[in-house]
Chain A
Amino acid sequence: MDILIIQILNSIFYACILFLIAAGLSLIYGVMRIVNLAHGSLYALGAYVTAWAIGTFAAKAPLWVLFLLLPSGAIVVAAVGALIEPTLLRPLYKRPEEYQLLITFALLLILEDVMHFLFGGVPLTAGAVIDSMGTMRVMNLRYPVYNLVVIAIGVASAVFLWAVIYRTRFGVILRATSQNMRMASALGLNVKWVFVQAFALGCFMAGLGGAVVVPAQAAVLGMGVEALILAFVVVVIGGLGSLEGALIGALIVSFVRTAGIQFFPEIELAVLYLIAALVLLIKPTGMFGRA
């Protein structure tokens, strides 16, 4: 029974990470109709930057400093996104979408080696954060407090994103542009500026996912490539372009994955991809998506 609770908490923890990545991916697609193949690599970059920052500046610092450094990954990745959009993506908006896909793939290749160059081949950890927060009692077992904090961050992010998209003027602009770009432009909205912001926000989410996961899971080369596939499964199940879809999809994928690792570890990933394929067959736009 205790193990079950732990498994459930772990699933929710992992679902929060997945949600952050998938929400970013979905946001970018929803507003700009771009599938960002480098999204996983941006998540990895967030993990690396945060791990490096914490490792370098906060070796023996108090907890509150470490926490301040945690979002550094997200901020850096958002800045990178703001640089990428006007230089690499904007020239291709009028071109067939195959080219957009290709350039994000090129970006993936570039980012993977940038991380290799900057941070080396050794895994970087920020375990200090998790350790310094200690554990708390859940039933008869002990569970890292940090994980619960992450779950809180995940929930807060979901609420924050929802509020931004549905309750702010910026959100209205985002939704208008995503539904009808030409009309939005005709109404005087600066679509170029909207795109940069949307892309930066999406990258911020990915970077935050990496920043938040790295105390629990070391930053390693190739983690981005692996994460992208899972993010795809999440948005396929939940629906490309949908916030609720990213949330529900993340939960489903995370729980299936945890159950899978427990009961049928060999085919756990295969099962996930097959579920994605099944959803695409039955309801191509996913549970909550629109075409």
Chain B
Amino acid sequence: MQDNAKRTGPSTRLLVACVIPILIVLLVVPKFLDVYQTQLFTYGLIYAIAALGFNLLLGYTGLLSFGHSAYFGLGAYCAAFLVKYFGIGSLEVYVLVGLLMTGLTSAAFGYVCVRHTRIFFGILTLALSQVLWTLAYKFFWVTGGTDGLRVAFANLTMLGGLIDFKGRNAYQSFAHSYYYYVLFMFCVCTVLMWVIVHSPFGKALQAIRDNETRAQFLGIPIRRYRWIAFLLSGSFTGLAGVLWVPLNGLVTPDILYWPFSGEIVFMTVLGGFRTFTGPIIGAVVFNYLKVYAVASTAYWQFMLGAVLVVLVLALPTGIVGTLARQLGKLGKRG
């Protein structure tokens, strides 16, 4: 029997080799970081989930969506609506409803979008996402408009009400517990996505990406599979949005505005969109990059723009892609 491990890419091999130590590190993070840093890292994991979902479309199916802010924002607003109109505090309910709504929306949007490819696909995803943005912006009596809607952690419950955040040290306890909740979700999402891209379906997606004609001539229904990929992609990103809002405490239409879609693309490319772990690393790094940039200068957009220019011109395969190539070279030499 041939060596099966050879079939998976170098980045996946890296992942498998490092999984245990990485998991251990992730599990003890809150012991070594203060509350602020723990929360910062939690944001990174949340964006990683969003980027993982996004990259199913870009890296594996070859479709560049410029409208993923729609699903992230929709997930966030779902949680906020549940708080405002139903007084619900259960995180599990947020997740379930969020997944349902973003799943339905990405199914609907996806059905429309996958009839096109390349630039028209991108423009269509952009246009549809902005429909959601203007609805959130204009119907301010429903969505809170630019003031947004609050989701206070004090009313949040996890594990069906087993855990709540009232009483002393509520903020610290929240930061702590929320980190582990997100970490769990992140691990589940990573495993799920890993299985999906290594499944026969995942291979079919890559075939569609590489050569649409030949995929057709192998009997693969192109449009249907692209649609399924879109649905999955939107749902993962929607879940990230749901998890984001209790941490942020507030959701405003900004999260649906198209430059945020650009940020999702940015972080994915930063990590390397042709690898599995690229989006994860890229999201975490981008999060720190943005926070650092915003903290150090009013012109943080310029900083990020400059980073992106360097990235595109000099390091197109992103952090993980470049690292993998260097390691590959080392391996050949040694």
Contacts and interface: CB of A to CB of B under 8 A. Distances in A.
Interface string B297-330: 0111110111011011100100000000000000
Interface stretch (A52-60, A87-95, A176-184): A87-95
Interface residues of A, number: 42
Nearest to A110: B305
Interface in B191-230: none
A108 B305 contact: yes
10 contacts: A91-B313, A98-B58, A98-B269, A99-B316, A108-B262, A112-B302, A113-B302, A270-B131, A280-B116, A284-B116
The interface centre, meaning the residue of B127, B128, B306 with most chain A CB atoms within 10 A of its CB, is B127
Chain B contact surface mostly: helix
A114 interface: yes
Interface stretch (B31-39, B132-140, B147-155, B279-287): B132-140
A143 B299 CA distance: 40
Nearest to B313: A91
B299 A274 contact: no
Given A102-B265, A269-B134, A97 B116 contact: no
B128 A106 contact: no
A48 to B, nearest CB: 15
A21 to B, nearest CB: 15
Interface stretch (A123-131, A202-210, A225-233): A225-233
Nearest to B138: A266
Contacts of B163: none
Contacts of A277: 112, 124, 127-128, 131
Given A236-B123, A269-B130, A270-B135, A97 B304 contact: no
Contact of A109 (B126, B130, B308): B308
A98 B308 contact: no
Interface in B82-96: none
A250 to B, nearest CB: 17
Given A35-B123, A113-B301, 6 more contacts: A98-B64, A106-B304, A107-B309, A276-B123, A277-B128, A280-B120
Interface string A206-246: 00000000000000000001000100110010001000000
Contacts of A116: 298-299, 301
The interface centre, meaning the residue of B58, B128, B265, B309 with most chain A CB atoms within 10 A of its CB, is B309
A98 B273 CA distance: 11
B166 interface: no
Contacts of B302: 109-110, 112-114, 117
10 interchain residue pairs of minimum CB distance: A109-B305, A113-B302, A106-B308, A110-B305, A269-B134, A266-B138, A113-B299, A109-B301, A113-B301, A106-B305
B131 A229 contact: no
B138 A267 contact: yes
Contacts of A229: 126-127, 130, 258
A9 interface: no
Contacts of A97: 118-119
Contact of A280 (B127, B138, B306): B127
A9 B131 CA distance: 27
A274 B308 contact: no
B112 A281 contact: yes
Nearest to A235: B123
Contact of B266 (A102, A225, A232, A274): A102
A119 interface: no
Given A99-B316, A232-B126, A236-B127, A110 B134 contact: no
Nearest to A38: B305
Contacts of B301: 109-110, 112-113, 116
Contacts of A281: 112, 115
A31 to B, nearest CB: 15
